[in-house]
Amino acid sequence: MKAAPARRLRCSFCGKPDKEVGRLLAGPKVFICDACIGVCNGILEAVPATFAGWDAMSDEQLLGALKPSAATVDGTRAVLQSQVETLRRRGVSWEAIGSALGVSRQAAWERFS
Ligand SMILES: [Zn+2]
């Protein structure tokens, strides 16, 4: 009788295995790594809890929101790249990845390879 293979825990958002992330937090059937938590925090910092639209914010508030927004974009781009790289390692085609993103196979390849 063989032992069951050890199940590797992965971040449910970026797909990175537990060994490649600093910390991995668990929820009901999901996990999130510290990098993805950072992306979430960037979104929360950029958008006030009582959001009344960009026009309701002062120039200073909007200027202060630019850096967290840019960091969020960079972080989200890194998550997307990591997801695509994981799919490619599994042998998933550019056709399937492009289709899932609503772009052509060529556009997906040019963007992520
Ligand atoms: Zn993650």
Sign of CA dihedral 56, 60, 63, 69: negative
Question: Residues within 5 Å of ion ligand 1 by Cβ?
Answer: 11, 13-14, 33, 36
Q: What is the distance in A from the centroid of ligand 1 to the CA of 41? A: 13
Question: What is the per-residue pLDDT for 77?
Answer: 86
Write down the pTM of the prediction.
Answer: 0.52
Q: What is the distance in A from the centroid of ligand 1 to the CA of 102? A: 23
Question: What is the per-residue pLDDT for 101?
Answer: 95
Please report, to the nearest 10 degrees, the dihedral formed by the alpha carbons of residues 43, 18, 28, 40 taken in order. 0
Question: What is the per-residue pLDDT for 6?
Answer: 59
Query: pLDDT tens per residue, the chain (113 residues)?
Result: 555 555 688 988 888 898 898 899 998 888 999 988 988 888 787 776 777 888 888 899 889 888 888 887 887 888 899 899 999 999 999 999 999 999 999 999 999 99
Question: What is the per-residue pLDDT for 89?
Answer: 96
